[in-house]
Structure 1
């Protein structure tokens, strides 16, 4: 029988010792579960983002969930509540005709303001006499009989515990089927503009508040 003898040098013994130590360490970590585990920062960040509200998306305490974009005072349903004050559309032909009538009316209102004649009767007389408009007439049932001009007192308002009617006159002129000249004259100033019909008041601009 031939016996094989392996000679191991000192250098090789050191290498084998290092390899053995590594293998033992790995085995112990596997058996005990005490080795360092990889830290998944991506998964942790995702979890935090799912459970932490965004600062920009979080409503401030006490804020109304019904505030509409673009509402300066933050009033809930402001757009719906003021729909009655939004005029309708005008056809191009009616808009052009209304602008021409507004240009005719503005100098008359300017003179009335300078003369301090802003009561409805004086305004009505000036617009029918100088410009030839006819007062709009209708039956008690609301059927239109003719005319295109409305002149009324200014809208009353609540002030100091009572309703008061300011000095001045509100004016509405119907032009064509879709357009209006909406105007006013009062002690402080006068104004003329063109617009479509208001849903409930025609060519008379409705008051603020409903």
Structure 2
């Protein structure tokens, strides 16, 4: 074989060998020019990482999507804190009442007045009627309830902070809930809660 022919064949054999090594290393056949496409995108990498984390040893199989702190059965354990749904029309009615209550609580807060009796008197002047309920929970009429703050655990015991909680029942499915205390005040709308009606239940149930 002429020397020139051997020289021509050596590069070709090298290319074939390199191709075989590439196939062996990757374990799949790719069309020419597909190297860039084979590089995982950032989103794909993130997805793979998330899947790997979810299946990692020690990961809880009971974590629910959207769980606040990743605790098992979060939504089940916090069902008492899930307010009911309001119809759009009733939600608008509740917003209108919230707009009436908000400036009253703002004024009281600026005056540093947040005891329940004073807050109740100020809101009754808007024309609301205090809600009346029998000992067994049957409603007799009225829509407004003002009470002290829920007790909190502090310094090895329960204390009742200064301030007032407000609940206005606008419809059976629509409420205004509010509070005013030394640090701040808030007025918002919500559906009723399973156990506490228009009042947002405290944590640590």
Corresponding position of 1:87: 83
1:125 to 105, 121, 126: 121
C-alpha distance in 2, partners of 1:140/1:158? 27
1:157 to 148, 152, 157: 152
C-alpha distance in 2, partners of 1:202/1:193? 14
Establish whether residue 111 from structure 1 lines up as the match of residue 69 from structure 2. no
Name the TM-score, length of structure 2 as normaliser: 0.72
Structure 1 residue runs of 5 or longer lacking an equivalent are 1-40, 46-53
Root-mean-square deviation (CA), in Å? 2.0
C-alpha distance in 1, partners of 2:68/2:179? 26
1:147 to 131, 142, 146: 142
Number of residue pairs aligned between Structure 1 and Structure 2: 160
Structure 2 residue runs of 5 or longer lacking an equivalent are 1-23, 29-47
The answer to whether the 8 A contact 1:94-1:177 is kept is: no
The answer to whether the 8 A contact 1:102-1:194 is kept is: yes
Deviation at 1:73, TM superposition (A): 2.5
The answer to whether the 8 A contact 1:179-1:194 is kept is: yes
Corresponding position of 1:174: 169
Corresponding position of 1:66: 62
| Rg comparison, structure with higher value | 1
Name the TM-score, length of structure 1 as normaliser: 0.70
